[in-house]
Amino acid sequence: MKFAIQVNEGPYQHQASDSAYQFTKAVLEKGHEIFRVFFYHDGVNNASRLTIPPQDDRHIVNRWTDLAKQYNLDLVVCVAAAQRRGMLDDNEAKRAGKDASNMAEGFRISGLGQLIEAGIQADRLVVFGD
């Protein structure tokens, strides 16, 4: 089955962020397909490469990056939600005249149309939120 995943909450604050990862991993390990993972609301913060969790804790951001690498996942961060919260890739930082970017490897910034498209293309869209 082809799944799309929507992540609405940020890392560490909410279980939703962990549950989305665990579900996505389980889907892939069972041999199903992930069409796209879309990060919205505070979920965009799952993509910050500046995240520094304590060493004995899970690294939520790197975990997504590694999973994306292993399965060639499409991790999309909503541009409107990201801009509000100071989440930028190199292009967005340049365009907005900011002196830094913070997007982790494996993620890309795009628009809300990508979420709707995921809803259309996937057999199931699963939303992880509060």
Partner 1 sequence: MDDMEGEGTIKKFLYLNRKAPYGTVYALESLEVVLIGAAFDQDVSLAFVDDGVYQIRKNHNTKVDSGIGMKDFSKTYRVLEDYDVEKLYVEKESMEERGLTKDDLIVPVEIMDRAQMAALMAEQDVVLSF
Interface positions with partner 1 (CB under 8 A): 6, 8, 40-41, 80-81, 84, 111-113, 115-117, 119-121, 125, 127, 129
Residue listed under structure tokens 């993972």:
37
- Which one, 25 or 129, has the nearer CB to partner 1? 129
- Which one, 44 or 104, has the nearer CB to partner 1? 44
CB of 14 to partner 1, least distance (A): 12
* C-alpha distances in Å from residue 127, one per residue of 55, 85, 91, 93, 110: 29, 20, 28, 29, 18
State CA 11 to chain mean position distance.
Answer: 10
Q: Which of 91, 88, 75, 78 is nearest to 35 (CA)?
A: 75
Please say if 54 is a catalytic residue: no
CB of 29 to partner 1, least distance (A): 25
For the chain, what's the residue count?
130
- Which one, 53 or 86, has the nearer CB to partner 1? 86
Catalytic entry in 61, 68, 75, 78: 78
CB of 10 to partner 1, least distance (A): 12
CA distance 82 to 38: 12
Residues catalogued as catalytic: 78
